[in-house]
Amino acid sequence: MNKKLKTFLILIVSMFVIIGGLYGYKRYKEYDTYKKDAVFLLDFLEDNYPFFEVKEKTLNYNFLDYKEELVKKISKSKNDTEFIKNVSLTMNLLQNNHSRVSFNSIIFNNSDLDDSDVNLKEKTEYWADKYLKTAYIPEIKFKYVQGKYIVTKSKNKEVPVGSMITKFNGKSVSDYLYDNKEIYYLLKDSKRDQYYIYEDFYFKRDSSPDNIEIEYNNEKINSTIHYDPYSKEGEEWYYGNFTNSSDNNILLDIVDEGKAAYIKIRSFDGEYMTENEKTIQKFLLNECVDVDNIIIDIRGNTGGNNKFGEFLIAALSDKPLYMSTYDCFKDTKFMDEYYFSKMLNQEEINESQIPNNNYDLNNFKIYNKDIIINPYGNSIKFKGNIYVLVDDMVYSASEYFISIVKNTKFAKIIGTTTGGDGLGREPIATLLPNSKIAIQFSSSLSMNSDGVVNEEVHTEPDIYIEQDLNDYLEYLNPGLDNIERSEYDTVYNKVIDMLK
């Protein structure tokens, strides 16, 4: 081998060694950074998250059994996109809809999140962009109705609207969803012992297709569902073009031949509250004094501001309503900084003072909280019947309202079991130390006055009525935009029949 060729080969080999070394060093630095955040995240959740025992009871799994496995998975992320995906999947495994990776500036402000070394807004936008790269939109939507998984929207000609999904990848739909609880937020139909998800929560985190079996016109059909990378167009197709606003957040009407008032509230969002309260107050004072019944429809209302529900009670009631609850916080330094030092006019109690408690609260601080709602001076002091329509999407602030309604017997609750987690405080957040990803979580294990954990049992209606499957399939045929108060709205129509 001549000298020049030998020198050239040595240079090439040296260059590859240097490049390989630089790449290896870069991967080591990434691994080290990811691992430090992973260890911080899992340790932080173990110390502060209040619902591990709840989820072990309701979902039959212990999150902390997977702690080391989750640290390894996050640490071995190949890049930032995979890292944010693995962090968010870990948060999803908590199976609490308040607990997740957060891009919400309101949560940041409530939690006093700040970091003088970085621009938190820019960091959040960076991670939000990476997060969207891990979202994949399916070519169908489905909704759980009376134990069946009904296709409500489809781009796949082999899977028509109205067909029933019976299997996912050879498993029952319930088993498939349970086995993928790091992706999907699960709800439980205790009546049928089946898991399901909200209709709008069927996004996936990769593009791998799923094989499904459907039933349509008494025929079994096998097909494949594909998933497209997130796009604005895909999102618009999936969710539709309805945009909520102060104007369409509420619907007020006199029904049942003038005998009943109907109040629909889509959201308790604080942004709409001031204007909506004025409109509702005027409606109550001007049109509801002589009605026999008032129907408050909060189906689909996922919460917002607790004050919205309190307003409804204060505008209708003729006497103060009282409810005693219990807030149980993990006894940690973090929680001390955020809560214990700010607990004003709340009594700290011990575990033995909670009635019917069946939870281990040794590592918790417990506070008794009294909720008192006084009627407004211009309350209509309604003496007739009040009915509140609910479903599984009633959550957070709307769950807070319905918990008060249930405990004080302020109204009859009609519909299905609600979504839960409504008695605690607003979610709080912290930053992962290296990536500056914000995670938010429910801070308190909150109990009703009878000592029952709201996140475990949610709220059962006084009268259980669910959407009828045949009515729903009939609704899908003409392609109506909204089932509410149509001839196919089983719950509403049964309530109207009850009033006659």
pLDDT at residue 161, rounded to an integer: 96
pLDDT tens digits for 93-129? 999 999 999 987 666 666 666 665 667 888 899 999 9
Q: How many whole angstroms separate alpha carbon 31 and alpha carbon 37?
A: 10
What pTM does this model have?
A: 0.91
pLDDT score of 28 more than 60? no
pLDDT band at residue 242, thresholds of 50, 70 and 90? confident
How large is the average pLDDT for residues 385-397?
97
Contact (CB, 8 A) for 277 and 309: no
Contact (CB, 8 A) for 459 and 393: no
Q: How many whole angstroms separate alpha carbon 277 and alpha carbon 285?
A: 12
Contact (CB, 8 A) for 424 and 51: no
pLDDT at residue 456, rounded to an integer: 95
pLDDT tens digits for 169-181? 999 999 999 999 9
pLDDT tens digits for 296-325? 999 999 999 999 999 999 999 999 999 999
How large is the average pLDDT for residues 429-456?
93
Mind spelling out the 3-state secondary structure of the chain? CCHHHHHHHHHHHHHHHHHHHHHHHHHHHHHHHHHHHHHHHHHHHHHHCCCHHHHHHHHCCCHHHHHHHHHHHHHCCCCHHHHHHHHHHHHHCCCCCCCEEECCHHHHHHCCCCCCCCCHHHHHHHHHHHHHCCCEEECEEEEEECCEEEEEEECCCCCCCCCEEEEECCEEHHHHHHHCCCCCCCEEECCCCEEECCHHHCCECCCCCEEEEEEECCEEEEEEECEEECCHHHHHHHHCCCCCCCCCCEEEEEECCCCEEEEEECCECHHHHHHHHHHHHHHHHHHCCCCCEEEEECCCCCCECHHHHHHHHHHHCCCCEEEEEEEEEECCHHHHHHCHHHCCCCEEECHHHCCCCCCCCCCEEEEEEEEEECCCCCCCCCCCEEEEEECCCCECHHHHHHHHHHHHCCCEEEECCCCECCCCCCCEEEECCCCCCEEEECCCEEECCCCCEHHHHCCCCCEECCCCHHHHHHHHCCCCCCCCCCCCCHHHHHHHHHHC
Q: How many whole angstroms separate alpha carbon 128 and alpha carbon 130?
A: 5
pLDDT band at residue 494, thresholds of 50, 70 and 90? very high
53 φ, ψ (degrees, to nearest 5) = -70, -35
User: Taking the CB of residue 482, how many other CB atoms lie within 10 A of it?
Assistant: 9
pLDDT at residue 107, rounded to an integer: 67
pLDDT score of 341 more than 90? no
327 φ, ψ (degrees, to nearest 5) = -105, 120
Q: How many whole angstroms separate alpha carbon 337 and alpha carbon 104?
A: 21
Contact (CB, 8 A) for 398 and 298: yes
pLDDT at residue 22, rounded to an integer: 43
Note the residue count of the chain.
Answer: 500
pLDDT at residue 104, rounded to an integer: 77
Contact (CB, 8 A) for 303 and 398: yes
More confident residue, 15 or 255: 255
Contact (CB, 8 A) for 391 and 303: no
Q: How many whole angstroms separate alpha carbon 117 and alpha carbon 434?
A: 11
Of the candidates 413, 389, 406, 416, the residue with the CA atom closest to the CA atom of residue 450 = 406
Token readout for 332 is: 């940690």
Chain centre to alpha carbon of residue 98: 6
pLDDT score of 25 more than 90? no
